[in-house]
Amino acid sequence: MTLKQKIRSKQLTLGSWITIPNQAVIEIMSTAGFDWLTIDIEHSAVDIESIQNLIGFIQAKNIKAFVRVYANDEVIIKRVLDAGADGVIVPMIKSKEDAQKLVDYVYYPPKGKRGVGLSRAQNYGIGFDQYQEKLEKEIVIIAQIEHIDAIHHLEEILSIDEIDSTLIGPYDLSASMNKPGQYDLPEVKEAITKYDQICDDLNKPKGAHVIQSDHSFTNAKIDLGYTFLAFSLDFFFLGDKAREQMQLLKK
């Protein structure tokens, strides 16, 4: 079974976030047993050349390589997929129209509107047919639900069948409600609960990026039925452990 099939059938998959563009970071993270790793280029300084290298390092460890792009933008989605990404995580999908554009940017005609290039993903021109098959069967499309408008239009967004899963973003969701970072407020919790209910009612997978490096926070999401989960990120795993052990030493 492919990772795409596991995600769509609501089987638990666990990944993490890469923000430090270094081969050693990938190789260290790969020892933890993640199903996938996401290179974040929305909130990091990772450039396109580094993206392609990092994708290669991740895939060399038999882990799927996703890229969280900085926008629902035709060019950047095309570039990271041509670089060989196994999937994209796309921020600020707020409507059915946004979701359809995302699908159009991923797939070639007639299913989509993506321009054809011959780069790493297509084995530099000698593997285009194989890539078309992989695109259909394996490429993962994740829409981030992180604005109150997305909550209001969630059923319409989920009607786009090519979206494999969504991923709730409580920080930006709270900001869109003029309560940045206050995701424990009743109105923000209500919006997240609505996300849960709609996904459950439509039998769609639920996703989240759990920032804390303490596994209990991710377990709490699993208990709520979330199946597409990013467990923390590189610099929190590094920093939290260093701070924890130094505090113990100082005691």
- For 22, what's the count of Cα atoms within 13 Å in the CB-facing half-sphere? 7
CA pair distance 69, 93, nearest whole angstrom: 12
Q: Which of 43, 152, 153, 215 is catalytic?
A: 43
CA pair distance 19, 41, nearest whole angstrom: 8
CA pair distance 113, 58, nearest whole angstrom: 28
Nearest CA to 206 out of 123, 143, 129 is that of 143
DSSP 240: H
Q: Where is 201: in which H helix or E strand? A: helix 186-201
CA pair distance 153, 94, nearest whole angstrom: 7
CA pair distance 187, 247, nearest whole angstrom: 36
Task: Identify residue 249 by its one-letter amino acid code.
Answer: L
Known catalytic residue at 43: yes
**Three-state SS for 11?**
coil
CA pair distance 70, 215, nearest whole angstrom: 27
User: Could you list the active site residues?
Assistant: 43
